[in-house]
Structure 1
Amino acid sequence: MDAQNTDVIWGEFAAECDDLASRMQARFESHLHAVMATLRRDGSPRMSGMEAPIRDGHLWLGMEHTSMKAADLRRDPRFGLHSAPESGELQGGDARIEGEAVPADASELETFLRGHHHEIDDSTSMALFTARIARAVLVRVESRHLVVETWTPASGLVERRVA
């Protein structure tokens, strides 16, 4: 991402592109876990399973503060997030988010903890980030065509169909 970060939070993405955001949220919520890619110190990718709830206008990225993915995000905030595939048919789609993770401030942490479905005994052991979205992609199969919907803050929604 560039220094003039134009990435947006989930609520801004949903306000601009509600239908796509709703379908992507359904994909992320269809399974408890998603797969996040971060960058290791040497630049190679690290893939990690994690919960990534979407609520209160944010895509939340919460993890143990001592985890390697937290260390990766502190060093380089770029990430990719992938929904779990539902089947080989991709009827609901294959959702992906690219962006930057921003450490949550104290008020965001309180908001997250109030709505979290697991009891967290010690929030100091948690690293919590909010996602700034640079690109949202939903890929699905429709009538034997691959449909790729891509949204960016700069370009808006672009749909491609591949036979």
Structure 2
Amino acid sequence: MATWREFEHATPELAAAVRARFEATKHHVLATIRRDGAPRVSGTEVEFTDKDLKFGSMADAVKVRDLQRDGRCALHANPGDGSMDGGDGKVSGVAVEIPVREGNSFRLDIREAVHTTVDGDELVIRWWTPNNGLREIRRK
């Protein structure tokens, strides 16, 4: 797993594209794992610090209980107007709780980051993992 900073150092261009998607709008989608193993999707906001990608929640929200039980999660950037002009950004990994006075806050230990765009008539998927580095596929 990697911090946001480690991801940025490993592949600055991809990190900038993913970050731009998250900074383009305020609200994003968080996917967590329910007690029964089914997925749960909830809204959240993200914040970038020098080292980490962080997100939070009101205290005792069900998504918080999900993350406290099983930290595996994914964040999907809000696509905004639905166009693919800026691409589509996603990150997944393990949420680590950060002590705060009110609500709940987490930082993401990144296992994978993905940026998807359209180039002419091709779908371009670029993704990075700490173990395998940067990869790309193109599909017509």
1:124 CA displacement: 2.5
Matched-pair contact (CA < 8 Å) for 1:94–1:139: yes
Aligned to 1:126: 103
State the secondary structure of the residue aligned to 2:6: helix
Q: Which amino acid aligns with 2:80?
A: E
Matched-pair contact (CA < 8 Å) for 1:36–1:79: yes
Cα deviation 1:80-125 (Å, max 9, x = unaligned): 10001134441211101110001125xxxxxxxxxxxxxxxxx433
Pairing partner for 1:38 from 29, 32, 51: 32
Aligned to 1:108: none
Aligned to 1:112: none
RMSD of aligned C-alpha atoms?
1.2
Distance 1:18 1:12 in 2: 10
Aligned to 2:42: 48
Residue correspondences, number: 140
Matched-pair contact (CA < 8 Å) for 1:83–1:95: yes
Distance 2:54 2:17 in 1: 17
Cα deviation 1:119-163 (Å, max 9, x = unaligned): xxxx43321111000000011111110000010001100010101
Which structure is larger by alpha-carbon Rg, 1 or 2? 1
Aligned to 1:74: 68
Tell me, yes or no, if structure 1 residue 148 matches structure 2 residue 125: yes
Distance 2:27 2:123 in 1: 25
Matched-pair contact (CA < 8 Å) for 1:136–1:152: yes
Q: Show structure 2 runs of 5+ residues with no match.
A: none
- TM-score (norm. length: structure 2): 0.95
Distance 1:64 1:56 in 2: 24
- TM-score (norm. length: structure 1): 0.82
Question: Which one has the bigger strand percentage?
Answer: 2
Which stretch of the first structure deviates more once superposed, 18-27 or 52-61?
A: 52-61
State the secondary structure of the residue aligned to 2:101: helix
1:55 CA displacement: 1.9
Residue identity (%): 39
